[in-house]
């Protein structure tokens, strides 16, 4: 009988003990970055602060934010790792690079201790999502430089599960490998199983539910928080679909997952991260309370190579719960509602691509779930042009009715007007990491 929680000491830690631990770690980390990182020496001095000014957790709010733009500029000044590298280059034993989807790529450096901490928190998340040592999991994320490939692979292995490093592309071979090797778990983006459905039928002549997958560990894209999309995946494949891989390569690869009891992302980075919330409009701190919608800000607590302080993730979250969960974990629960830098203003309405995704996925299987917002000029907007992939089974005479149905659904749910264009399955481009490109600017 396997334990329910991977690391009960951390994941079920009580608030007073967590606060005491975090304060001790924070003081050491601030001293470390000030001593080792010229990047943070300049930032602290520019704010007229010293490590001694951080005496309490609340003092974090006095420290300057760190942004991705600053990290890019740092790596341009001192390539490849930037002047926020806080250890010797010889101590770096693994290097990843971000996709650069929203700007120039960043190089992420990891020491051996950084990797151990990454694996620990990643194992917490995958274990919460349902992975166990008796499972055989095929990992279908890009292994080429991206942290979601090799490092997530090592996170999966840390749980004791058997990991098959398949990567991306060659889906015909993938479904045969799953069948031949009797694989029962898949790790991928949540949209990938929709594409694989027809591959299974064409290559193997069976329905996806007959392939033998019993668990999906998904991340990298929104969708699974929509119960209709999740229901489609689970019924089509006969597997549990877990949102089990939320994180960011700049700070920590994976630190959040749903559990078996509540389908909400649990914060599982205790001992590795301090999470804060801010109002992106004025950058003021907001307490972590149920019902709050705010931007997530993260600070590393025990990072050696590239520790970050007050890092603005730009991810907007809604806090769904605090305190003890039925699973025994005490981290706050949340859902990601979009990015503060992706928010669009349509006739006074704040619109996130993730909100559109939730609406589109309610119309599966008439659509694949993939879509793209096409922006022809800077905002604000009086409507949005959206292209949506229709499923292969939709007949030409059904197109107009489906298009109107999508526009009506968006209008009723999100209260803005959309001009929808239907396009064939697999027409939406993806990044080399396998993520759908949601917003295209043509200006």
H/E stretch holding 253: strand 252-257
Counting the structural domains of the chain, the total is: 2
Cα(255)–Cα(267) distance, integer angstroms: 6
| Residues whose CB falls within 8 Å of the CB of residue 289, separated by 6 or more in sequence, listed in order | 319, 322
DSSP β-ladder status, 344-346 and 367-375: unpaired
CATH number, domain with residue 428: 3.30.300.30
Of 360, 344, 342, 347, the C-alpha closest to 416 is 347
Final residue belonging to a domain, choices 269, 298, 333: 269
**Average pLDDT over the chain, rounded to an integer:** 92
Structural contact between residues 129 and 105, judged by C-beta atoms closer than 8 angstroms: no
Structural contact between residues 343 and 356, judged by C-beta atoms closer than 8 angstroms: no
pLDDT(419) > 80: yes
Residue-range definition of the domain harbouring residue 416:
344-441
Final residue belonging to a domain, choices 207, 238, 269: 269
Is residue 275 included in any domain, yes or no?
A: no
What pLDDT is stored for residue 103 in this prediction? 56
> Which two tokens mark 414?
């999100």
Residues 261, 177 within the same domain: yes
Cα(255)–Cα(268) distance, integer angstroms: 5
pLDDT band for 1, please (50, 70, 90 cuts).
low
| Segment among 138-142, 235-239, 364-368 with least mean pLDDT | 364-368
| Residues whose CB falls within 8 Å of the CB of residue 424, separated by 6 or more in sequence, listed in order | 389, 390, 392
What pLDDT is stored for residue 337 in this prediction? 86
DSSP assignments along 107-153, one per residue:
EEEE-HHHHHHHHHHHHHHHHHTT--TT-EEEE-S--SS-TTTHHHH
Cα(262)–Cα(128) distance, integer angstroms: 11
DSSP 435: -
Is residue 236 included in any domain, yes or no?
A: yes
DSSP β-ladder status, 215-219 and 240-248: parallel
* β-sheet with 439-441: strand ranges across: 418-423, 384-390, 367-375, 439-441
Final residue belonging to a domain, choices 215, 248, 269: 269
pLDDT band for 74, please (50, 70, 90 cuts).
very high
Is residue 150 included in any domain, yes or no?
A: yes
Q: What is the pTM of this model?
A: 0.85
What pLDDT is stored for residue 431 in this prediction? 62
Structural contact between residues 339 and 314, judged by C-beta atoms closer than 8 angstroms: yes
Residues 112, 246 within the same domain: yes
pLDDT(434) > 60: no
Q: Distance between alpha carbon 374 and the CA centroid of its chain, in Å?
A: 23
Residues 255, 359 within the same domain: no
pLDDT(246) > 70: yes
| Residues whose CB falls within 8 Å of the CB of residue 421, separated by 6 or more in sequence, listed in order | 385, 386, 387, 388, 403
pLDDT(313) > 80: yes
Is residue 299 included in any domain, yes or no?
A: no
Share of the chain residues as helix, strand and coil, in percent rounded to the nearest 5: 35, 25, 40
| Residues whose CB falls within 8 Å of the CB of residue 443, separated by 6 or more in sequence, listed in order | 375, 376, 377, 378
pLDDT band for 99, please (50, 70, 90 cuts).
low
Cα(12)–Cα(153) distance, integer angstroms: 25
> Which two tokens mark 379?
């905002």
Mean pLDDT of the 381-404 span: 93
Cα(340)–Cα(294) distance, integer angstroms: 9
H/E stretch holding 75: helix 68-77
Which residue do the tokens 């499972």 mark? 135
Is residue 331 included in any domain, yes or no?
A: no
Is residue 319 included in any domain, yes or no?
A: no
Residues 245, 360 within the same domain: no
Cα(327)–Cα(323) distance, integer angstroms: 11
């Amino acid at each position: 009988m396997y334990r329910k929680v991977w690391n009960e000491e951390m994941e079920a830690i009580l608030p007073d003990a967590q606060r005491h631990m975090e304060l001790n770690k924070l003081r050491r980390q601030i001293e470390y970055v000030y001593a080792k990182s010229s990047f943070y020496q300049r930032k602290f001095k520019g704010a007229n602060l010293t490590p001694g000014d951080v005496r309490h957790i609340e003092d974090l709010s006095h420290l300057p934010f760190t942004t991705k733009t600053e990290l890019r500029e740092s790596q341009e000044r001192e390539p490849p790792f930037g002047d926020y590298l806080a250890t010797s280059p010889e101590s770096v034993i693994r290097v990843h690079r971000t996709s650069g989807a929203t700007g120039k790529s960043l190089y992420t450096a990891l020491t051996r201790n950084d990797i151990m901490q990454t694996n620990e928190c990643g194992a917490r998340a995958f274990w919460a999502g349902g992975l166990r040592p008796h499972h055989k999991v095929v990992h279908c994320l890009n292994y080429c430089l991206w942290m979601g490939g090799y490092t997530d692979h090592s996170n999966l292995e840390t749980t004791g599960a058997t990991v098959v490093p398949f990567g991306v592309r060659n889906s015909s071979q993938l479904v045969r490998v799953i069948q031949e090797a009797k694989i029962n778990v898949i790790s991928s983006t949540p949209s990938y199983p929709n594409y694989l459905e027809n591959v299974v039928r064409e290559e193997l002549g069976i329905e996806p539910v007959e392939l033998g997958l019993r668990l999906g560990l998904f991340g990298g894209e929104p969708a699974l928080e929509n119960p209709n999309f999740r229901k489609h995946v689970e019924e089509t494949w006969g597997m549990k679909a877990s949102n089990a891989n939320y994180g960011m390569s700049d700070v920590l690869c994976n630190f959040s997952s749903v559990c078996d009891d509540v389908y909400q992302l649990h914060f599982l980075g205790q001992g590795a991260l301090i999470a804060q919330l801010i109002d992106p409009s004025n950058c003021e701190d907001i307490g972590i309370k149920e019902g709050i919608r705010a931007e997530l800000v993260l600070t590393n607590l025990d990072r050696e190579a590239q520790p970050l302080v007050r890092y603005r993730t730009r991810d907007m979250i809604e806090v769904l719960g605090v305190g003890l969960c039925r699973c025994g974990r005490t981290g706050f629960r949340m859902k990601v509602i979009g990015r503060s830098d992706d928010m669009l203003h349509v006739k006074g309405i704040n619109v996130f691509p993730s909100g559109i995704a939730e609406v589109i996925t309610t119309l599966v299987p008439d659509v694949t779930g993939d879509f793209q917002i096409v922006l022809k000029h800077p905002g604000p907007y009086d409507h949005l042009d959206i292209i949506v992939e229709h499923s292969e089974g939709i007949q030409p005479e059904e197109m107009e009715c489906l298009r109107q149905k999508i526009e009506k659904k968006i209008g009723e749910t999100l209260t803005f007007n959309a001009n929808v264009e239907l396009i064939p399955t697999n027409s939406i481009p993806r990044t080399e990491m396998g993520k759908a490109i949601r917003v295209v600017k043509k200006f």
